[in-house]
Amino acid sequence: MNVLLELWETPFGLPPFERIRDEDFGPAFDEALVRARAAVSAIAEGPAADFAGVIEALELAEGDLDRVAGVFYNLAGADSTEAREALMRELAPKMSEFSSEVTNNKALWAKIEALWLGREGQGLTAEQGRVLELYRQMFVRSGAALDGAAAERLTAVKARLAVLGTQFGQNLLADERAWSMELAEADLAALPEFVQDAARAAGAEKGTGPVVTLSRSLIVPFLQFSPNRVLREKAYAAWVARGANGGETDNRAIAAEILALRAERAQLLGYADFAAFKLEPEMAKTPDAVRDLLMRVWQPARAKALADAAVLEAMLCADGYPAPLEPWDWRYYSEKRRKAEHDLDEAVLKPYLSLDAMLGAMFDCSTRLFGLEFREIEGPFYHPDVRGWEVTRQGKHVAVFLGDYFARGSKRSGAWCSAMRSQRKLGGDQRPIVVNVCNFAKGDPCLLSYDDARTLFHEFGHALHQMLSDVTYGFISGTSVARDFVELPSQLYEHWLEVPSVLEAHARHHETGEPMPADMLKRLLDAGTYDQGFATVEFVACAMVDLEFHTGVPSVDPMQKQAEVLESLGMPRAIRMRHATPHFAHVFSGDGYSAGYYSYMWSEVMDADAFAAFEEAGDAFDPKVAAKLERYILSAGGSEDAEALYLKFRGRMPGVEPLLKGRGLLEPA
Q: Is 440 helix (H, G, I), strand (E, B) or coil?
A: strand
147: which residues sit within 8 A by CB, 6+ positions away?
none
Helix, strand, coil fractions of the chain, as percent rounded to 5: 65, 5, 30
144: which residues sit within 8 A by CB, 6+ positions away?
103, 104, 106, 109, 112
- 324 upstream amide cis, omega within 30 of 0: yes
Strand partners, 400: 390, 433
Alpha-carbon distance of 148 to 161, in angstroms, equals: 20
Alpha-carbon distance of 106 to 309, in angstroms, equals: 59
> Which residue among the candidates 176, 282, 313, 459 is catalytic per the annotation?
459
**Beta strand residue intervals within 112-193, DSSP E:** 180-182
Provide the phi-psi class of 651: left if phi over 0, else alpha when psi is between -120 and 50, else beta: left
471: which residues sit within 8 A by CB, 6+ positions away?
127, 423, 424, 425, 477, 635, 636, 637, 639
Q: Is 459 a catalytic residue?
A: yes
Q: How many residues does the chain have?
A: 669
DSSP string covering 173-229: HHHHHH-EEE--HHHHHTS-HHHHHHHHHHHHHHTSSSEEES-HHHHHHHHHH---H
CA angle 224, 228, 230 (to 5 degrees): 110
Residues 510/445, Cβ–Cβ less than 8 Å: yes
Residues 473/138, Cβ–Cβ less than 8 Å: no
Gyration radius (Cα) of the chain, Å: 25
Q: Based on the number of CB atoms within 10 Å of its own CB, is 209 exposed (0-12), middle (13-18) or buried (19 or more)?
A: middle
Alpha-carbon distance of 109 to 54, in angstroms, equals: 10
Q: How far is CA 239 from CA 77, 178, 197, 434, in A?
A: 20, 12, 20, 30
Residues 477/117, Cβ–Cβ less than 8 Å: no
Which residues form the catalytic set? 459
